[in-house]
Amino acid sequence: MITFASAAGLTVIAAIATMGETWVRLDLHQTGLIVLSAVFIFVGYCSSVMVMRVGELSVVTPYRYTSLLWALLLGWLLFDEWPTLLTLLGAAIIAATGCYMLYREARSTTSP
């Protein structure tokens, strides 16, 4: 259900963002790439949800932040885009708060 809700929300936001744009007909290659990316996104969402249910949170959480690094790297390599300073600041805040939560959790379990 979480995977479906995430995918549906992303679809609605993308549809709203493209309103007023001129749509073009896709060829077979482009359609195949979109279907392949949809499969990868679906597998990624499902894997993310399943690992959070099964794995220990203190072990799993740091790996979730690697998605920020992958997004930066792939955006730069594939699209020659680099995020603005404000975007980088937001990503740093998200990562820092997650690391702080892990730190506090580790301290609370080791203290008497």
Write down the pLDDT at residue 110.
Answer: 66
Whether 9 and 26 share a structural domain = yes
On whether both 32 and 63 belong to a single domain, the answer is no
Mean pLDDT, rounded, of the chain: 85
Number of domains in the chain: 2
Clarify whether residues 35 and 83 are in a common domain.
Answer: no
Domain span holding position 48: 1-54
Q: How many CB atoms lie within 10 A of CB 49?
A: 14
Whether the per-residue pLDDT at 61 is higher than 80: the answer is no
CA angle, residues 46, 49, 54, in degrees to nearest 5: 115
Of the residues 21, 37, 54, which one is the last residue of a structural domain?
A: 54
pLDDT > 90? residue 98: no
Radius of gyration, CA atoms only, the chain: 18
pLDDT the model gives residue 33? 93
Give pLDDT, residue 27.
95
